[in-house]
Amino acid sequence: MSDRLKGIFLASTTALLWGFLAIALKVADTNVDPLTIVWFRFTLAFSLLAIYHAIKAPKELNILRKPPLLLVLAAIALSCNYMGYMNGIHYTSPGNTQIIIQTGPILLGAYGFLIFKERLSKKQIFGFVVASIGFLVFYRQQLKMLIGDEQTYNIGVWWVIFGATTWSVYAALQKVLVRTHKAQTLNMFLYGLPSLAFLPWVDFQSLGSLSVSGWALMAFLGLNTLVAYGTLGASFKYIEANKISIIITLNPIITFGAMAVLSALDIQWIDAEKLNTLAILGGLLVLAGAILVVSKRKEQNNK
| pLDDT (average), residues 239-251 | 75
| pLDDT (average), residues 112-118 | 67
pLDDT for 251 beyond 90? no
In the prediction, which pLDDT does 201 show? 93
Q: How far apart are the first and last CA of the chain?
A: 16
pLDDT for 242 beyond 80? no
Give the confidence band of 246 by pLDDT, cuts at 50, 70, 90.
confident
Q: Which residue has the higher pLDDT, 262 or 275?
A: 262
| pLDDT (average), residues 255-277 | 78
Give residue-wise pLDDT tens across range 151-164. 777 788 889 889 98
In the prediction, which pLDDT does 205 show? 92
> DSSP per residue over 221-234, as a string?
HHHHHHHHHHHHHH
Among 58-62, 109-113, 138-142, 294-298, the least confident range? 294-298
- Number of C-beta neighbours around residue 59 at 10 A: 8
Highest mean pLDDT (candidates 58-72, 89-103, 109-123, 177-191): 58-72
Question: What percent of the chain is predicted at pLDDT more than 90?
Answer: 40
Give the confidence band of 263 by pLDDT, cuts at 50, 70, 90.
confident
Cα 19 to Cα 13: distance, rounded to the nearest angstrom: 10
pLDDT for 66 beyond 80? yes
Of 255, 248, 246, nearest to 291 by C-alpha is 246
Could you tell me how many helices (H) and strands (E) the chain has, helices first? 14, 0
